[in-house]
Amino acid sequence: MGREVWLTVTGEQKDADGRKDRNSTQCRAWYEKREDLHIFEYRETDPQSGEFTDSRLVFSKTGCSIERTGVVSTMMRFEPERELECMYETGFGSIPMKIFTKRLAMREVGSNFHGRVSYDLHLQGGDSMECAVTIKAEPV
């Protein structure tokens, strides 16, 4: 049975020139655990337009996926030591990407969840970036 949690998703990027960027969002999310799957569903609001993006994050010991629909749409999959292709859809067009997952880790401590994915992101016609996404969830 699902329950409401506080979810913090932090993204980190480092481009080929060594410039770093970090963004973080915290929101209420619906959490459900099904066998070895940890499923989080949440809605983000664009601070400028007020438009919504609905997100579904699924995490397990063998992989992770992030599906977003709305202002931006994408389906990103992460599997250790594999390169996977995806499309990042924006209001300005589609951007093809390749994701090579270097490391995936997760742990549960009591009612809390922590997961992290480290990966290289290759944009079509652009440089590679070293990236990571960290997920933290705790009961509301």
CB atoms within 10 A of CB 77: 16
Residues shown for the chain: 140
pLDDT for the residue numbered 2? 67
Short-list 77, 78, 74, CA closest to 94: 74
Mean pLDDT of 82-94: 85
For the chain, domain boundaries:
3-139
Q: Judge: domain 3-139, CATH 3.40.50.280.
A: no
If we measure between CA atoms, which residue out of 12, 37, 7, 4 comes closest to residue 133? 12
- CA proximity to 134, closest of 112, 118, 121, 122: 118
How do residues 11-57 score in pLDDT, each as one tens digit? 999 998 999 999 999 999 999 999 999 999 999 888 888 889 999 99
Give 95-105 pLDDT, tens digit per residue: 899 999 999 99
- The pTM (predicted TM-score) of the whole model is 0.89
